[in-house]
Structure 1
Amino acid sequence: MRIAVMGAGAVGCYYGGMLARAGHEVVLVGRPMHVDAVTRDGLLLDTRDFQERVPVRASTGAEGVRGAQLVLCCVKSTDTADAAIAMAPHLAPEAIVLSLQNGVDNAERLQALLGREVGAAVVYVATEMAGPGHVKHHGRGELVIGPSDASGRLVELFTTAGIPVEVSDNVVGALWAKLILNCAYNALSAITQLPYGRLVAGDAVEDVMRDAVQECLDLAWAEGITVPGDCWAAVQRIAQTMPSQFSSTAQDLARGKRSEIDHLNGFVLRRGKALGVATPVNRVLYSLVKLLEERAAESTTPV
């Protein structure tokens, strides 16, 4: 199958690399520094089980999705609208579009802008870009997708590439479960620049996380969303299974980049205001990350 990855960052490069390794024709659409490295040397797929250079095609422009049978949208939530507008003229009519993004509404946003069905995938993977064209995998890698005419083919595609995938009738609830994990960890890891294992060992940190989780659950109830499983147990497992992982928000701040906080704790804050649900802990976490983003932007602005 010909597959395009729109947004070849850590998540996109991991899943694109695994699919390319399984023999699929993969095109990565990303930043010039990564595209140049991948074009020259292939993608260095550095996982917990193997390290391998995988030959893939790469492009800096959205025309790279042309002719793809499957498009994985992996851009930051802040770039969803721009990505949709850029991809739209190049998408094949029969292409399957799947959103592998943080947040709960990106598939809906893409669908509205593209005027076609877009599937949502919940992503559980710990990865980072360790250098140009070098993706480092720290753990996990499973996906949760919703039922569709294409879900059977997608399960076979991902499974044969070594990517565990589950089809859920409540993919919206699964997206909210992932949002809750992100709201518990991302801002705190970013503010402290600590990995999950060290973070949860801090005094009263788990109490803050519990409060953030409960606010999200209160909001989900107000939205009429059923969140599956035990959210607090899932939060605890993250620190146990990925103790050395920094959140994507922490990685963004460390590199002076704009984070997705508006679509995580910021989303909870906005929806809470709209529905009359109090979200004070998420408000504090959001405001602190925004201040750090502003400070980083000021420090990189030319005088």
Structure 2
Amino acid sequence: MRVLVLGAGALGGYYGGRLAEAGGDVTFLVRPGRAAALARDGLVIESPFGHAKLAAKTVLAADLQPGWDVILLTCKAFDLEDAIATIRPGVDGRTAILPVLNGLSHIATLQNAFGKDRVLGGLCKIQATLADGVVRQLNDWRWLTFGEVDGTMSPRVQALEAAYSKAIGVEAKAVPNVAQRLWEKLVHLGTSAVGTVLMRARVGEIVRAGGSPMLIEVLERNAAIAAHHGHPMPDAFMAEYRALFSDATSAYATSMLRDIEAGNRIEGEHILGFLHQAALRAGVEPAIHEMAALHARAYEERRAANRPK
């Protein structure tokens, strides 16, 4: 199985690097500067599951040719259009595109660009960063979940699971219900994003300020949105996240909040804007989703004017 990874940053470098370490045929599609650094220093991973320094195969966009079984997309949602243009020369009839972006709207965007049979659903749970050219895994989160959007257990998702079976520090699983998994992630991530972006605080700080009822109300509304779209949340899932959003000791902060604090671009439309429109379709009271999406847009306006703080 030939795997192309777009980028060699925190996610691409980790999941691609661990597969290469396990003997997988992995190539990283990178810019010239990153290609030169990888040629000079190798792909360096620091992790609780063991460090690694790997010789990484790379290709530049100008040299990309077809012939890939899987293309792994780990970009931010706001870079998706550029990513589509970059990988297009490498996509042929054998290629499965595996995105692990937050949210849901990217699935339809990729299907429109390449066809429904070319696109898998995927999500990952990991905390990692790229610093000084080193991919650093920050805790023991290491999950990669994927599957066919239509729920079939195809040979290609089973083959990808098998390819990862010997990888250190990765729990990769092909599932028959990836659409449900994506909605579950959106329900809890969307709740966290609404709360932490509007309040500019971590979950525990919001709870200590008296905001647990607000967070749980958003959780319930997001669950109602998902149910309207055919994906009701399991009782155990709701119990888990009611507890999380009641935990005064939680240090949980969304990547969107961290990006706002750092003055970076955010995935506001992809998550908050999507949930606002989904709430309208579902007949769910949309005011708090509208406010969160507006907050994200206003932040981007301030950022464009070089006044993000």
Residue matched to 2:178:
171
What is the CA–CA distance in structure 2 between the aligned matches of 1:99 and 1:215, rounded to whole Å?
A: 26
> 231-240 or 11-20, which moves further after superposition?
231-240
For the residue of structure 1 that corresponds to 2:141, the secondary structure is strand
| CA apart distance, 1:277 | 2.1
Matched with 1:14 is 14
Work out whether residues 200 and 239 of structure 1, in 8 Å CA contact, stay in contact via their aligned partners in 2: no
Displacement of 1:181 in angstroms is 1.8
| 1:248-263 superposed matches below 5 A | 248-263=255-270
Q: Does 1:269 align with 2:270?
A: no
TM-score for both structures, normalised by structure 2: 0.83
8 Å CA contact retained: 2:67, 2:94: no
For residues 132-151 of structure 1, the aligned pairs below 5 Å read 132-146=133-147, 147-151=153-157
Change (3 A) 1:207 1:131: farther
Q: Paired residue for 1:221, among 218, 223, 227?
A: 227
Q: Cα deviations across residues 129-178 of structure 1 (Å, max 9, x unaligned)?
A: 23334343333121222222312212111222142233333211110000
| Distance (Å, rounded) in 2 between the aligned partners of 1:54 and 1:214 | 45
Q: For structure 1, which segment, 260-269 or 130-139, has the greater mean C-alpha deviation from structure 2 after superposition?
A: 130-139
Q: How many residues align?
A: 299
Query: Counterpart in 1 of 2:39?
Result: 39
Give the corresponding residue for 1:161.
167
Identity %: 23
Q: Partner residue of 1:290? A: 297
Alignment of 1:181-200 (within 5 A): 181-190=188-197, 198-199=204-205
Residue deviations 1:198-253 (CA, integer Å, cap 9, x gap): 4465322332221221111111122222334533344346998x965642213332
Select 1:281's aligned residue among 278, 282, 288.
288
TM-score, structure 1 normalization: 0.84
Unaligned runs of 5+ in 2: 148-152
CA distance in structure 2 between the aligned counterparts of 1:238 and 1:209, rounded to whole angstroms: 6
How has the CA–CA distance of structure 1 residues 213 and 21 changed in structure 2, closer, same or farther, with 3 Å as cutoff? same
SS of aligned partner of 1:83: helix
Counterpart contact for 1:256–1:293, Cα < 8 Å = no
Bigger radius of gyration among the two:
2
